[in-house]
Chains A and B, each alone.
Chain A
Amino acid sequence: MADEYIIETFDLIKRYPMGRQELVALKKVNLKFRRGEFSGVIGPSGSGKTTLLNIIGSLDTPSSGSVVVLGEKVETLTPYRSAQLRRRHIGFIFQTFNLLPVYTVFENVEFPLLILKVPPAERRQRVMAALEWVGLADREKSRPNQLSGGESQRVAIARAIVKQPAIVLADEPTANLDAENSYHILDTMVKINQELGTTFIFSTHDEKVIRYLRRKIKLLDGAVVADKHAQPSGRET
C-alpha cells in the first residue's frame, strides 16, 4: 500500500550548475520510508546525503523526478504550502545546531510552537516536556552562548521534537560533538523514536551514529548503492 510510506522518492535527480557544467548530486534515487523508521543515509562527503535530506524537508526542490512527503508532492508545493509542511510536520537538526542566538533555551524551543500559534499555557507545558526529554529543564533561562556543544545539540533536538512532528531530519547531528555527547544525543533520539513514534532520518558518516541505525542507506556519488535493514548495535563498549 502506497500510503504506508510517509516519504517516497521517484527517480529523484538533483543537478547543480557548476560554471558551464553541471554537478549531478542525486542520480535517480528511489526510496520509501515508513512511519517510525530510525534510518540513515550514509556515505562520504559530497555523496548527496544533505541534498537528499534538504529535498525531503522541502528546503530544496528536485531537478527531475518526484518526492512525496506525507502525501504532498514537494516539487509542486507553493512557498506557503512548503512552509506549512515544515512548520507542522518536519523537525530539523543540523550539525551546527543553528540556535537563535538572542533567544534563551526556552524561547528557542518555544519558537516552533509560537509560529503554530499554540496558546501560551500549552506552549510552556510542551516546551518544558521537550526539555525534560533532553535533560535540560534546568537550563531554560540560559542563552546559547552559555551552553556546551552537547547541550546546544540537545536544545536543537528539543526544538525539533517539541511540535511532535512526523519526521525529524538530522543532518550530521554528531559531527561537532565528542563521543560521550554523541552517545547521549543518540540515546535521546532513540528514546523519542520509540516512545513518540517519530520518524528519524539521519545523514551521517559517523560510525557512532551508524551503529544506532535500524536502516542504512548507502549513497555514493548521488546514487543509492545499498539499502539494508539491520539490528542496531548501539553504544560501543
Chain B
Amino acid sequence: MTTLQLAVRNLRAAGIHTWLNAFALSLAFVAIIFGQGLLEGVNRQAEQASIAFEFGDGQFWHKQYDPYDPLTIDNAHAPIPEELKPLLNSGAAMPILIIPGSVYFAGKMLPVLIKGIPADQKVLKIPSAMLTDTTKDLPVLLGQQMAKTAGAGVGDYLTIQWRDARGAFDARQARVVGIMHTSVSTIDQGQVWLPLNKLWELTTMAGQATLITVKKKPIPVPALPDWDFRSLDFLLADLRTMIKTKTVGQSIMFIVLFLLAMLAIFDTQVFSIFRRRREIGMLIALGLTRAQVIAMFTFEGALYGVLATLLGTIYGTPLFIYLSARGISFPGSAQWGFALQERMYPVYPLSLILGTTLLVLITATFVSWLPTRRIARLKPTDALRGKGI
C-alpha cells in the first residue's frame, strides 16, 4: 500500500469535504485561466487590429519621420524609391503621405495630420475605397472618434488647411464621404484621410511619401538611403508596453486570487494536521514512518489540486469554448487608449492551460508539504495524546 493510495483513500472517505475543498480551489483555477485568457485575447485582438489597420507586415519610414515629434512631419517625405515601385505596382505595398494641417468645422479649429492614402489600396483594412469619389468635391474619410470630436457626419463639408511644399498656406473644402469604424485610435483621432493622388496635387508633392506599408515583409529588406524599415516588432513595441502596463493591475488581482487559493490549501493542511494529531500518532503506531505520514498528507493536498483541475476542466471547458466563440461585451473599451473592440474574444492557448495547471499542481503540492514538516518534529507519544503541535 503506497502513501498515495492511502491519501486517495482518505480523500474518498472524507466525501463531501474533499469535493468542497476541490471545488473552491477549482474556482480559483478557472478564474486564473479565464483572466489570463482574456488578457491574451485583448493582447492578440489589439495586435491584430493594429496590423490590419495600421502596420501591415512592416513599414518603410522616411528617415526624418518620428510619429512622436510633430516638428519632423513637415520634412519627413521623399519621392518613393525606385526599389519599392515593383512592390507598389503589384499591390503588395502602398505609400502614405502625411502632412500637418488643421480642420475647421462648426466654428472649431482642430489641428490634424492629413494623410493621403491610395483609394484602391488593399494592404490595410482602412476603407479607402470610400475615397473614390466621382464628384468634384474633395473627399475626406474620418475615423469615428475624429468625427465625434469634430461633430461631423457623412456629407458635411470641412475646411482643411495645410502648407504646401513651398511652405505656403492653402485650404480647401472637403466633403466627408465616410466614417471609418476602427478600434485603432492611432489612425483615427486627430487625423483626416484624403486620396493620395489629390493630396499630391494639393501639396505639389507628387510621387512622395512619408511611409510605405508592406503587405509582406520583403526578404531581404532592401537598403534604402533615405528610408528605414520598421519591423512589426518595432511597430508593436509601444502597443505591447501599453498593454503590459494596463494589465499589470489585473495580473496583481490574479496573483492575489492565486495566493488566496494556496493560502486556503495551506490553512486546510495546518488545520488538518492539528485536528488529526491522534491519527498521525496512530498511523505511526500502526507502522508508518514519519516520512510516509508526511508523504500521505502532502499527497492529500496535492490531490486537491488534481481534483480541482478535473472539476475545473469539467465546467471550465464549455465555459471557455462559449466565451471564445461568443466573446464578452466591453462597452466603453475605446477609452483604454489602445485597440480594443467592444466585444473581447478571450484566447485560451494550450500553453496557458497547461502552464496554469502545472502551476496550480506544483504550488498546491508545495503548500501542502510546507505545514507537514511539523510532523517530522512530532513525537508519536505526544501525538497519540493529541499534543505536540
Contact = CB atoms under 8 A, between A and B. Distances in A.
Interface stretch (A33-41, A82-90, A177-185, A226-234): A82-90
Most chain B beta carbons < 10 A, residue from A57, A88, A94, A102: A102
A202 interface: no
Tier of interface size on chain A: 20 to 34
A118 to B, nearest CB: 9
B286 interface: yes
A111 B10 CA distance: 12
A96 B282 CA distance: 11
Interface stretch (B33-41, B316-324, B378-386): B378-386
A19 interface: no
A196 interface: no
A112 B381 contact: no
Tier of interface size on chain B: 20 to 34
Contacts of A88: 287
A94 B14 CA distance: 24
A176 interface: no
Contact of A86 (B287, B379, B381): B287
Contacts of A100: 279, 282
Contact of B278 (A86, A98, A116): A98
A123 to B, nearest CB: 10
Contacts of B290: 79
Nearest to B380: A59
Interface in A114-138: 114-117
B10 A102 contact: yes
A101 B15 CA distance: 12
A212 interface: no
A87 B287 CA distance: 4
A88 B286 CA distance: 9
Contacts of B381: 50, 54, 59-60
A115 B384 contact: no
Contacts of B13: 102-103, 107
A200 interface: no
A111 B13 CA distance: 13
Contacts, number: 65
B1 A115 contact: yes
A98 B287 contact: no
Contacts of B10: 102
B116 interface: no
Given A98-B384, A102-B14, A60 B379 contact: yes
Contact of B285 (A59, A96, A114): A59
A83 B278 contact: no
A145 B139 CA distance: 86
Contacts of A50: 381
Contacts of A102: 10, 13-14
Nearest to A83: B289
B288 A98 contact: no
B1 A86 contact: no
6 contacts: A50-B381, A54-B381, A79-B290, A88-B287, A94-B384, A114-B5
Interface of B: 1, 5-6, 9-10, 13-14, 278-279, 281-282, 284-292, 379-381, 384
User: 7 tightest A-B contacts by CB?
Assistant: A87-B287, A102-B13, A114-B1, A98-B282, A83-B289, A86-B287, A92-B285
Given A50-B381, A59-B285, 7 more contacts: A80-B289, A82-B289, A86-B287, A87-B286, A87-B287, A92-B286, A96-B278
